[in-house]
Structure 1
Amino acid sequence: MQNVNVELVAGDLVFPGLGFEGRKIARLSTRSPLVPTCNKNYKPCPRMLNIALTWMFAPKRNTSFSLFGETGTGKTEFWTYICDKLNWPMVIVSVSESLKPESVKSGLVMRNGNTHHELSAAAQAAEMGAMLVLDEMDKGSLDFLAALHPLMEYKGLPLEKQGRVITPHPLFRLVATCQTNGCGDLTGRYQSTSSLDEAVRRRFMWLESKYPAPEVEYEILLAEAPKIKSKVLRMMARFAEHCRNALDADDSSEHRVFSALSTRIMVDWVRMQSLMKDFSIAEVFDIVFLNACELEDKQTFTLLAELAFGEQWLQPAF
């Protein structure tokens, strides 16, 4: 991808309805096999999109970009959406504490009975000019993330075993998703995450990814399940808002929960509701979400649902 063709396109054609009217957006004129396809019903936050694009197209970068927030807010989908719209190749590395520092550069592979060193996904992304997504970066070990420091700053990545240095392509971008802001989990919901050291945190910009407003979530649910009654979908979106308020409530609140009712779960709910037409709203919600909650949360979610839905809660959605 060293030679790429870039075209300037009207902003409202690339990002319709998101406030880009009258602006020109640069995108790649051809799509490679590494360009992802976004969920057609995904709706990005216009403010987040504007901030991310400003960073992506800045004349210079010496820091990377991380989205953090509760599970199911669409952090990975956000980067997928941008790459899809801009024809930008994307490489995702699912980060875990088992990843070793040496895996940042290359690994041994067997081909035709012979062992070869093959560039890692991170190194390939830097060399070809793709967006490298460190998915759930706050699950990574300190050693693994330290090995990524050069790429986080867009500096050369030395490959000692090959005797060369990878100079990041001008179109290379390094982004991350995290459940936390790098300072560790303070909620008890994301116990597999760890606190990132200062050297990693200060190599990133940090932007919080939040759940959509009820009206936006209603539009998402309507696009996923257009046959469910409109008033029921609005009840669902409002119920989700009440549940998230309860998630953020302090210990003195009458309604406090510890399980996150994400947009991803809401989409699963309406999809299953559409397939299980004879089941009540409550029955499908139990299967999709409630059965995996702690007893205290179950009681609070049920109370919030009864307040939001009334008699409709125990009836089908059609």
Structure 2
Amino acid sequence: MYQSYSIADTFGIPAPASMKVEGFIPGQNVYVPAQKPYVFRKDHLRDVLAFLGAHNGDGLYLTGPTGSGKTSLLEQVAARLNWGVHSVTGHGRLELNDLLGQYMLVDGSAMKWIDGPLTLAVRLGHVLLINEIDAIDPAELIGLNEIVEGKPLTIPQTGDVIVPHPKFRLVATGNSAGSGDQSGLYQGVLRQNLAFLDRFRLMEVGYPEPEDEMKLLADVVPSMPETVRESMIKVANQIRKVFIGGADGGGMLSVTLSTRGLVRWASLVATFKSAPNALAYSLDRALTFRAEPAEREAIHRIAKDVFGDDWQV
């Protein structure tokens, strides 16, 4: 059921051959995320593997700006370890019962209990990944306190008491660290219950270093000239600086070019390479069509300054 994986070979980072991590034997588990190109950062990988190896009664809370790779970090680690993941996106109407499951009409005649993502993860030894957890009503999340600590899960509707599988893990992501959004950039973020947050170890996931994004773009669009990839990353980092702003709050832009958006931009450039200006055409479709006209103009000005004559317009 389990097998050891070489950290160096599995995640493509320098590590002694003796360093291994336990995962699941490859099989037909539909809950294992699909592998995608990903550049692992050593510090982040170390924290995630330590948590998966021994949670010690903690959950794991990944915080950081939008599109910095919080969700994909966990999913791509799990994909390489063949570890099932049940992913849920938080919102203001999400209730604990949505995670537990519900009775449903089966074959048009009988009501049958269907496990929700939390119950499945607890039974099967998978990861329950709650994205945007800081958008959920704090009163609902209190119901997770005991299961985070490894205590049995009780299903009130059926009376079942489920002892968690030893490989069950609870992971959350959020744009804030649970104390609310001080920047004003993220609508719907709620201040979370301190007792709930105290059950998590935290990780901060910022945007990757330029050399890491270069490796990622090289995997995604290997035919793109290196100089173009370098300029795209410079554009992304300048946009991020303007978006994040300074210590006094958010910046001058309401949108940012995340790593996810950067990959989208590069992929669209390859798709629309015959367009009159593939860079500008693709940037609109990757990001700036959802910005205000003045912001769109400002972002294009940043790109033009970085690319110079290569921008073409």
TM-score, structure 2 as length reference: 0.91
Q: 1:171 to 1:44 in 2, by over 3 A?
A: same
Separation in 1 of the partners of 2:183 and 2:289?
21
Unaligned runs of 5+ in 1: none
C-alpha deviation, 1:104, in angstroms: 3.3
Secondary structure (helix, strand or coil) at the match of 2:182 reads coil
Separation in 1 of the partners of 2:70 and 2:77?
11
1:115 pairs, out of 89, 111, 121, with 111
Q: 1:191-230 residue pairs with structure 2 within 5 A? A: 191-230=187-226
Q: Conserved in 1, the CA contact under 8 Å of 2:21 and 2:49?
A: no
Separation in 2 of the partners of 1:87 and 1:114?
35
2:59 pairs, out of 59, 64, 68, with 64
Aligned partner letter, 1:151: I
C-alpha deviation, 1:296, in angstroms: 4.3
Q: Conserved in 2, the CA contact under 8 Å of 1:92 and 1:134?
A: yes
C-alpha deviation, 1:96, in angstroms: 1.6
Tell me whether 1:168 sits opposite 2:141 in the alignment: no
Q: Percent identity?
A: 25
Q: 1:17-28 residue pairs with structure 2 within 5 A? A: 17-19=13-15, 21-28=17-24
Q: CA RMSD in A?
A: 2.1
Separation in 1 of the partners of 2:56 and 2:136?
23
Aligned partner letter, 1:217: E
1:12-44 Cα deviation digits (max 9, x unpaired): 2222225354312222223323212121x2112
C-alpha deviation, 1:292, in angstroms: 1.5
Aligned partner letter, 1:33: V
Separation in 2 of the partners of 1:141 and 1:252?
28
Partner residue in 1 for 2:292? 294
Partner residue in 2 for 1:158? 154
Q: Conserved in 1, the CA contact under 8 Å of 2:12 and 2:40?
A: no
Secondary structure (helix, strand or coil) at the match of 2:255 reads coil
Separation in 1 of the partners of 2:173 and 2:215?
25
Aligned partner letter, 1:146: I
Tell me whether 1:79 sits opposite 2:74 in the alignment: yes
Q: Conserved in 2, the CA contact under 8 Å of 1:67 and 1:208?
A: yes
Q: Conserved in 1, the CA contact under 8 Å of 2:243 and 2:256?
A: yes
Q: 1:140-289 residue pairs with structure 2 within 5 A? A: 140-250=136-246, 256-279=252-275, 280=277, 281-289=279-287
1:172-224 Cα deviation digits (max 9, x unpaired): 01101111111112222210221111122111111111111112112212221
Tell me whether 1:100 sits opposite 2:98 in the alignment: no
Partner residue in 1 for 2:308? 310
Separation in 2 of the partners of 1:175 and 1:216?
24
TM-score, structure 1 as length reference: 0.90
Aligned partner letter, 2:57: N
C-alpha deviation, 1:127, in angstroms: 1.3
Secondary structure (helix, strand or coil) at the match of 1:122 reads helix
Separation in 2 of the partners of 1:54 and 1:290?
39
Aligned partner letter, 2:309: E
Q: Conserved in 2, the CA contact under 8 Å of 1:38 and 1:77?
A: no
Aligned partner letter, 2:114: E
Separation in 2 of the partners of 1:234 and 1:140?
38
Q: 1:124-139 residue pairs with structure 2 within 5 A? A: 124-139=120-135
Q: 1:143 to 1:9 in 2, by over 3 A?
A: same
Unaligned runs of 5+ in 2: none
Q: Conserved in 1, the CA contact under 8 Å of 2:118 and 2:128?
A: yes
Number of aligned residue pairs: give it: 308
Q: Conserved in 1, the CA contact under 8 Å of 2:33 and 2:78?
A: yes
Separation in 2 of the partners of 1:210 and 1:20?
26
